[in-house]
Structure 1
Amino acid sequence: MRVYDMIVSYRHRMADLLAGLTDEQVRQRTLCEAWTVHEVAAHLISFLRFGRTKLYLGLLTTAADLDRVNLRLTEREAARPTGEIVELLRRYADSRIAIPRAGYDPVLTDLVLHELDIRLPLGIPGAVPERQLRVAIHHLATKPALGFTMNSRLRDLRLVATDTGWSHGRGRLVRGDAETLLLGMGGRRSAFDRLDGDGVPLLAQRVASPPRPGAARRLGMVLDVLVHPAPAERRSRAAAG
């Protein structure tokens, strides 16, 4: 299955999840601490239409601060009722919008993380399909695309998924099941109590106090993405998954 096909399927999966929630559940906070369930849902549709235009305009008006771009677009889409957001998520599930030169892996990674952000605090049972989970965890561990503020978060850490056999890196150990490991890598602080190893405190510290690049550094990162060709493996994953 191509990564693009996984994305289309996952958007329908997320729409089904959101459609089954009560009004009270939609107002609950998620593991993505800045957002409620409704706001996470709004984020999922924020780039489905005119995504490249929104991204470029946002980067120009915020000095390449993608966090601010995401917050602005999410706030705008969050004015819609949840039912309308769900309908738009289904209608544009086949959108091919992706971060320039990054391929589809980061799009799938975003969907997987946000499903966990919603489902776990609400106590909704389920599991991320292993193939999709492997794409997401590998993406964050190797060359995360613009938009995932990883910086040097995983440097000198050995990451081990106890349930899938996946591992990456060298250094202090961070170990747990793959979903929890993905959440920790993705900066969800609630994951750290469910991970073990001598590298967990270091990862938690890096998540709590991430470096904040200045405008010049942010612009340089964006230009680097736009000017240099995507790595071959990223292009092939985007084409063939």
Structure 2
Amino acid sequence: MRLSRTEREHVFAAVADERRSIAALIDSLNPDQLAAPSLCAGWDVKTVAAHLVSDFADGFWGFMVSAVRHASIDRGIDALARRRAQAPATEIAETLRRRADHRRSPPVTGPLSGLTDVFVHGADIRIPLGIPHHPNPAQVARVLDFLTSTTQLGFFPHKRVRGIALHDTDTGRSWGDGPAIHGPGAALMLAICGRVVAFDHLDGPGLTLLQSRLT
């Protein structure tokens, strides 16, 4: 989806802020916390942080090369994240901090894919550790614009949200038509990205339909 120059600047600034926040968090965690399972299936907290480094250190074309090598985009991304997770946590945090202003804007998906990545993976790290996750509601609404658009690729199949209406109680905005799901934007974002823990913060008849599509 197309953004104005000002909108792009706001998105890049939000991505940088979240990277710095995650870097500070990683620096504060002990080894048990770093090894704790995240909300991202198969990855511990440290590996999620390493994936966020991989986003800019390997980049779109690095992901594509790894996808060909491993015969799957998911396996390719997984391999890169696990390789980078072999670095010390302090190095991962420092790289996130030092390169926080890197402007990720892949072909087709653009800068909002980067914002989606840091917001969702920020929750993947914080929520299992009992740490509050409260991204800016206006920026979360931008993420929902992207996740419900035709330019969304790689986060989930488009059919997952087809025929479901999402109503964000933080901003009053809505997306889609059909059985409704109501709740905070961050919970909507996580739920449609497959994080069922967010269902506890949502209600409406569309929840049953969404859950059936996740299972």
TM-score > 0.5 by shorter chain: yes
How do 1:88-103 and structure 2 match up within 5 A? Answer: 88-103=95-110
Alignment partners' CA distance in 1, 2:200 and 2:182:
11
Deviations 1:39-83 (A, max 9, x none): 1111111132242431231233344x2211111111111111111
Q: Mark the runs of 5 or more structure 1 residues left unpaired by the alignment.
A: 209-241
Q: CA deviation at 1:7?
A: 1.6
How do 1:129-208 and structure 2 match up within 5 A? Answer: 129-208=136-215
Alignment partners' CA distance in 2, 1:163 and 1:4:
22
Aligned residues: 207
How do 1:60-139 and structure 2 match up within 5 A? Answer: 60-63=68-71, 65-139=72-146
Q: What is the root-mean-square deviation of aligned Cα atoms in Å?
A: 1.7
- Residue 207 of structure 1 aligns to which amino acid in structure 2? L
Confirm whether residue 58 of structure 1 aligns to residue 81 of structure 2: no
Equivalent in the alignment of 1:217: none
Confirm whether residue 25 of structure 1 aligns to residue 28 of structure 2: no
Higher RCO (CA-CA < 8 Å; seq separation 6+)? 1
Q: CA deviation at 1:144?
A: 4.7
Quote the sequence identity (%): 37
Equivalent in the alignment of 2:6: none
Q: CA deviation at 1:115?
A: 1.1
Would you identify which runs of 4 or more consecutive aligned residues in structure 1 move more than 3 Å? none
Give the TM-score normalised by structure 2: 0.88
- Residue 83 of structure 1 aligns to which amino acid in structure 2? T
Q: CA deviation at 1:126?
A: 4.6
Give the TM-score normalised by structure 1: 0.79
Retained in 1: the 8 A contact 2:68–2:76?
no
Alignment partners' CA distance in 1, 2:39 and 2:138:
23
Q: CA deviation at 1:8?
A: 1.9
Change in Cα spacing, 1:144 to 1:40, as seen in structure 2 (3 Å) is farther
Match of 1:43 among 26, 51, 57: 51
Change in Cα spacing, 1:149 to 1:159, as seen in structure 2 (3 Å) is same
Alignment partners' CA distance in 2, 1:42 and 1:197:
36
Deviations 1:176-215 (A, max 9, x none): 111111110111122223321111111011112xxxxxxx
Q: CA deviation at 1:145?
A: 2.8
Alignment partners' CA distance in 1, 2:132 and 2:196:
20
Deviations 1:9-64 (A, max 9, x none): 2211211122222222111112223211111111111132242431231233344x
- Residue 74 of structure 2 aligns to which amino acid in structure 1? D
